[in-house]
């Protein structure tokens, strides 16, 4: 089942990590039609992540394929024309683990190796194949983003760090440090059976590539997930992220986090927030730039859009909020004919890009 849409290589795709991408298109009256499974991304039984990363400057997309057999992780690049480049199998991934998302910088791709491992033999026992290995030490893998093989892959152990989503990453100190902003699942034991008890601790994670050390600090005491940034800043230093508050699935509100405060010993880097109201819950927001072609525009000069469902009245709305305002002011609200399920990821595509779809 698709859980996300992505736009790269002149095409629009519906993505689900259990399958390859499906090309889709919008008709003139707004209907979505499926053009078909795009097998240029792999063989018939293969799949692709639902979280590819798109570099707005180069037009490239970066993706991976998890597997329950060796290699357990395969990384690849898709050029600006939408053509998949040679795969890079990561044989140093020792076992199948839950790799749902990753991050890129200008020069690197960063992968989590979590304590949630996949063991298909458990199915024969009538159990779930995904289990938590309490004895395993989580790792982060850093590989050159244009790698042709895994020889440049560096693995660093990071005890207690289990990442499901990765919000963004960038380089500092002349490329000697990689910074990742991502929510850490606490405790990871609840991630499989009791997601309602999971606390997503948004962290700033600094990786010293020379010393192979990691420094971490939470940026808020709130449970924050489904975080997004201005898409133009993928792989670049980001000041702001926007996250769903109180999840992990149905979220009571939205917050704006100033990551620059995370280096100033601030206990809470939330600088703006909005609650949806009693009985109202939303999902992942999406940032839409107010002036996407203005290179001098401020990073937060735009709108936040999301779906909100009122569980008391059973009504759903599409909200548009001002990302620069201190209370994320609602500037438009559109009633929807039906609800959008919680937990799905969003995408905004400009009209001129829709008109250019192949």
**CA 241 vs CA 12, 152, 350: distances in Å:** 24, 30, 21
215-247: b or e for each residue (b if 16 or more CB lie within 10 Å)?
A: eeebbbebbbbbbbbbbbbbbbbbebbbbbbbb
**Start-to-end Cα distance in the chain:** 23
The set of residues, in sequence order, having a beta carbon less than 8 Å from that of 210 and lying 6+ positions away, is 176
In 3D space, the residue among 242, 237, 260 whose CA is nearest the CA of residue 105 turns out to be 237
Asked whether 245 and 223 are in contact (CB, 8 A), the reply is: yes
Between CA 138 and CA 283 the distance in angstroms is 28
Residue 199 marked as a ligand binder:
no
- Dist CA 59 CA 328 (whole Å): 30
**How distant, in Å, are the alpha carbons of 44, 55, 105, 194, 331 from that of 20?**
8, 21, 24, 29, 37
309 annotated as belonging to a binding site for a ligand: no
Tokens of 322: 């001002």
User: How is residue 281 written in tokens?
Assistant: 């819950």
Planar angle of CA 308, 232, 42, nearest 5 degrees: 85
List all residues 6 or more positions away from 331 whose beta carbon is below 8 Å from its beta carbon: 303, 320, 321, 322
Cα 323 to Cα 1: distance, rounded to the nearest angstrom: 31
Pick out the residues of the known binding site for Fe cation: 51, 100, 165, 345
Pick out the residues of the known binding site: 51, 100, 165, 345
């Amino acid at each position: 089942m698709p859980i996300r849409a992505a736009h790269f290589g002149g095409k629009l795709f519906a993505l689900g990590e259990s399958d390859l991408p499906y090309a889709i298109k919008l008709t003139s009256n707004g209907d979505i039609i499926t053009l078909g499974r795009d097998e240029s991304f792999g063989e018939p039984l293969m799949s692709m992540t639902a979280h590819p990363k798109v570099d707005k400057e180069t037009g490239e997309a970066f993706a991976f394929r998890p597997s329950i057999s060796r290699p357990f992780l395969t990384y690849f690049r898709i050029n600006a024309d939408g053509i998949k480049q040679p795969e890079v199998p990561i044989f140093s991934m020792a076992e199948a683990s839950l790799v749902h998302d990753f991050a890129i910088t200008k020069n690197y791709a960063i992968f989590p190796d979590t304590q949630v491992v996949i063991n298909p033999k458990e199915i024969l026992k009538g159990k779930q194949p995904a289990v938590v290995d309490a004895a395993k030490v989580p790792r982060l893998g850093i590989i050159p983003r244009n790698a042709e093989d895994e020889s440049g892959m560096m693995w660093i152990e990071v005890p207690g760090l289990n990442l499901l989503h990765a919000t963004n990453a960038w380089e500092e100190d002349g490329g000697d440090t990689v910074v990742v902003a991502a929510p850490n699942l606490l405790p990871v034991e609840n991630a499989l059976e009791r997601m309602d008890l999971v606390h997503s601790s948004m962290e700033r994670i600094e990786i010293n590539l020379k010393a192979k050390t990691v420094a971490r600090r939470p940026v808020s005491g709130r449970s924050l997930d489904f975080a997004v940034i201005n898409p133009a800043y993928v792989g670049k230093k980001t000041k702001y992220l926007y996250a769903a508050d109180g999840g992990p699935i149905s979220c009571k509100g939205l917050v704006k986090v100033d990551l620059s405060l995370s280096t100033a010993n601030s206990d809470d880097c939330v600088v703006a927030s909005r609650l949806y109201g009693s009985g109202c819950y939303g999902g992942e927001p999406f940032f839409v730039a107010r002036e996407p072609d203005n290179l001098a525009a401020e990073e937060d000069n735009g709108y936040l859009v999301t779906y909100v469902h009122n569980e008391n009245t059973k009504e759903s709305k599409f909200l548009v909020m001002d990302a620069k305002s201190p209370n994320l002011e609602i500037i438009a609200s559109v009633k929807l004919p039906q609800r959008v399920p919680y937990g799905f990821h969003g995408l905004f595509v400009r009209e001129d890009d829709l008109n250019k779809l192949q």
